Amino acid sequence: MGTTDRSTSEAKRVLLGLTGGVAAYKAAELARLLISSGVEVQVVMTTSASRFIGTATLQALTGRPVFTELWDASVANNMAHIDLSRNVDVIFIAPASADFIAKVAHGLADDLLSTLCLARACPLLIAPAMNRQMWENPATQRNLDALHRDGVTVLGPAKGVQACGETGLGRMLEAHELAEAVHAFFQPKPLQDKRVLITAGPTFEAIDAVRGITNSSSGKMGYAAARAAAEAGADVVLISGPVCLEAPRIARLIKVTSAQDMLAAVKSEAPYADFFISVAAVADYRPKSASEHKTKKNDRNIMLELVPNPDILEYVANLPAPPFCIGFAAETQDLEENAEAKRRRKKLPLLAANLAQEAIGAEEVALTLFDDSGRHPLPKSSKIEQARHLIAHAVSLYDKWRNFNSCKK
Ligand code: C5P
């Protein structure tokens, strides 16, 4: 199926199709999330879906009439099944019931939504939602194989407690995961077949069994970089220090605590990476020795001897065949001078700099990218938007950097 040719700056248009399943309630939140992120949503529901959630709810959330009938006299040419599927960038069925999946797999068209799917000129995404036995049934799996072969993108399902009380595979993904997947679907894929290694969050250096020193870092920028790299088609490995963020489904997550743990994980992954994005706020020092037990307090001053931690980014950048390395610099003053000096000292083709006092824990950030051609300011925007710009910039430098580096060897 060809994609509709629309410029990326235009709002994307999604035809959201609901079929019969308890998870239909999540589709209301999905519609809301898509609309609040600038996507135009047109809802079409099957008769069974309208037993689970009212058309009025979706109409109010999307500000558009909800279509349910194949034979709709209000559509001037009575061809809702053609018109609706022509004016969208993607059809997204969420929830997709076992019955509806079977219909699409066999090309049946006995209601408005299945007819739209058959008549479409755009890609089709589905988010299955059903009881675990229905999911595991060989008939459903055969139908899913057919959909995969037809180029349909299947999102989920997740494993967990189901409405029927059983536990297993078949739960529809959560609304925010589906909204992210829709945005990811629309991103260009310049990193297909590339492996991206990312460090994120702070490290924690133990003093004793319950105390330690760390850096302020929410991990949000590193997790956004992981999401942006995955959206661009990369195979992503995310090595994360302790953060309070939900593990991204799109990346292989390796959890670490100290800088030494992080270095060990990076050492074993770096040889396979095409890009290394070092977002982690690695503690520069660690206590020389950590006590196994909790140190008892008393009234005397105590001395804590600190020793320097390894510089993980420097280690990777100095490998005999390093990946394309991207550093981050969080500075509190003289941002530009400090950032460019850091980029040169660490021999990086690209470095992103921000003001620590504005960036740590924030949802939005202003970034300046530094490369061999100079500085490239990115005005304040969400961390995922900035991460997408960063990935696009790295991709634009990659081929030249690789040719130059292979000449040097
Ligand atoms: O701490 P500094 O400002 O030097 O950090 C700059 C870059 O170096 C960041 O990308 C950070 O992830 C990386 N770094 C590291 N290991 C360290 C210190 C910093 O990888 N020990």
What are the backbone angles phi and psi of residue 33, rounded to the nearest 5°?
A: -65, -40
Q: Quick one: 13 exposed, middle or buried, by C-beta within 10 A (0-12, 13-18, 19+)?
A: middle
Q: Which residues of 241-275 are buried (b: 16+ CB within 10 A; e: fewer)?
A: bbbeeeebbbbebbebbbbebbbebbeebbeebbb
- Percent of the chain residues past pLDDT 90, beyond the cut: 84
Average pLDDT, the chain: 93
Tell me, in angstroms, the distance from the centre of ligand 1 to residue 203's CA. Answer: 11
The pLDDT value given to residue 78: 63
- Tokens 């209301």 correspond to what residue? 28
| Structure tokens given for 53 | 């959630």
Which stretches of 187-334 are DSSP H helices?
A: 220-231, 259-269, 312-317
What is the distance between the alpha carbons of residues 129 and 155, in angstroms, rounded to a whole number?
10
Query: Please, where in the chain does CATH 3.40.50.1950 lie?
Result: 13-186
Segment 210-228, tens digit of pLDDT: 999 999 999 999 999 999 9
Segment 51-85, tens digit of pLDDT: 999 999 999 999 999 999 887 767 666 666 677 88
pLDDT surpasses 90 at 287:
yes
Tell me, in angstroms, the distance from the centre of ligand 1 to residue 322's CA. Answer: 16
Q: What is the dihedral of CA 365, 370, 371, 372, to 10 degrees?
A: 160
Question: How many other β-carbons are positioned within 10 Å of the β-carbon of residue 296?
Answer: 6
Query: Please, where in the chain does CATH 3.40.50.10300 lie?
Result: 195-290+303-399
Q: Give the ligand 1 atom nearest the CA of 331.
A: 3
Q: Look at the pTM and tell me if it is higher than 0.85.
A: yes
pLDDT surpasses 70 at 291:
yes
Task: Please name the CATH architecture into which domain 195-290+303-399 falls.
Answer: 3-Layer(aba) Sandwich (3.40)
The pLDDT value given to residue 409: 53
Ligand 1: residue whose CA is nearest its atom 16:
311
pLDDT surpasses 60 at 3:
no
Q: Give the ligand 1 atom nearest the CA of 346.
A: 8
The pLDDT value given to residue 7: 43
Residues annotated catalytic, as ranges:
164
Average pLDDT of span 38-47? 96
pLDDT surpasses 60 at 117:
yes
Cβ atoms of 221 and 299 within 8 Å: the answer is no
Tell me, in angstroms, the distance from the centre of ligand 1 to residue 393's CA. Answer: 20
pLDDT surpasses 60 at 4:
no
pLDDT surpasses 50 at 122:
yes
Segment 124-181, tens digit of pLDDT: 999 999 999 999 999 999 999 999 999 999 999 999 887 778 888 999 999 999 999 9
Ligand 1: residue whose CA is nearest its atom 17:
311
Fold topology of 13-186: Rossmann fold (3.40.50)
The pLDDT value given to residue 6: 46
Tell me what percent of the chain is helix, strand and coil, each rounded to the nearest 5: 35, 25, 40
